[in-house]
Amino acid sequence: MLSRSVQLLSKPRNLVLASTSALALTYVATSSSSRPFHLSTASMSNKHNFPLKLSEGEWRAKLSPEQFRVLREQGTERAGTGEYDQHFAGKGVYECAGCGTPLYTADMKFKSGCGWPAFFDAIPGAIKENVDRSWGMERVEIVCANCGGHQGHVFKGEGYDTPTDARHCVNSISLRFNPKSELKYQGPGKNKA
Ligand SMILES: [Zn+2]
């Protein structure tokens, strides 16, 4: 028993690396061991109070297993696989797949080449932001302001030639496209989370 414990203690990096991504590899290799390694939802600083509150069981009944994993457990779909990655429409809105709230207009979508739907802005008040310190990075998580459903992350100042130079990097499965809406983009600076 003693020798097994010693062996485990001597190989903590291998244990971590076996269960995490290449990004985590960078983090483990460059950070001090005194800093805790964060995973998924435990590290979200979610300070918002959302109007729509459902229990876990109610969400599971309402959503597919994959939708639940992404929307309610901060999951991410694989790059390049989402229904809306290459979807461009003249008009319409992308609504939250959890609660139907309009989040993005079709004319906010742009081709980022990142493998997920990308929007340079959101419908005013539709999106809230949380600091996300999972995977050894500090990113800004974006969630539906009505139900708190995880949409993805927002990155700013990357140099895209768009009105805001922000990139809302969103999972397709978090969205549902409504082609009938006439909502249009109203201009930058009108989305303060
Ligand atoms: Zn929602």
Greater confidence (168 vs 37) lies with 168
Q: Residue 31 pLDDT > 70, yes or no?
A: no
pLDDT at 188: 79
Can you tell me the distance from the alpha carbon of 129 to that of 150, in angstroms, rounded to the nearest whole number? Answer: 10
Calculate how far, in angstroms, residue 11's C-alpha sits from the geometric centre of ligand 1: 42
Task: Write the CB contacts of 105 (distance below 8 Å, at least 6 apart in sequence).
Answer: 91, 92, 93, 94, 123, 181, 183, 184, 185
* Average pLDDT score, the chain: 81
In this predicted model, what pLDDT tens digit does every residue of 115-162 receive, in sequence order? 999 999 999 999 999 999 988 999 999 999 999 999 999 999 999 999
**Structural domains in the chain plus CATH codes:** 1-37 (no CATH), 40-178 (2.170.150.20)
Strand-pairing partners, residue 131, are 45, 140
pLDDT at 59: 98
Two structure tokens written together for 170: 């969103």
Q: What is the mean pLDDT of residues 24-44?
A: 37
Calculate how far, in angstroms, residue 48's C-alpha sits from the geometric centre of ligand 1: 13
Q: What is the mean pLDDT of residues 164-173?
A: 97
Calculate how far, in angstroms, residue 26's C-alpha sits from the geometric centre of ligand 1: 33
Greater confidence (14 vs 44) lies with 44
Residues serving a catalytic function are 169
Of the pLDDT bands very low, low, confident and very high (cuts 50, 70, 90), residue 44 is low
Two structure tokens written together for 44: 């979200």
Calculate how far, in angstroms, residue 131's C-alpha sits from the geometric centre of ligand 1: 18
Can you tell me the distance from the alpha carbon of 75 to that of 16, in angstroms, rounded to the nearest whole number? Answer: 19
Can you tell me the distance from the alpha carbon of 96 to that of 143, in angstroms, rounded to the nearest whole number? Answer: 9
Task: Write the CB contacts of 98 (distance below 8 Å, at least 6 apart in sequence).
Answer: 59, 62, 63, 67, 71, 72, 144, 147, 149, 174
pLDDT at 128: 97
Range with the lowest mean pLDDT among 102-111, 140-149, 180-189? 180-189
Strand-pairing partners, residue 130, are 141
Q: Residue 13 pLDDT > 80, yes or no?
A: no
pLDDT at 29: 34
Q: Residue 4 pLDDT > 80, yes or no?
A: no
Cα dihedral 154, 159, 165, 168 in deg (nearest 10): -20
Calculate how far, in angstroms, residue 182's C-alpha sits from the geometric centre of ligand 1: 20
Calculate how far, in angstroms, residue 151's C-alpha sits from the geometric centre of ligand 1: 9
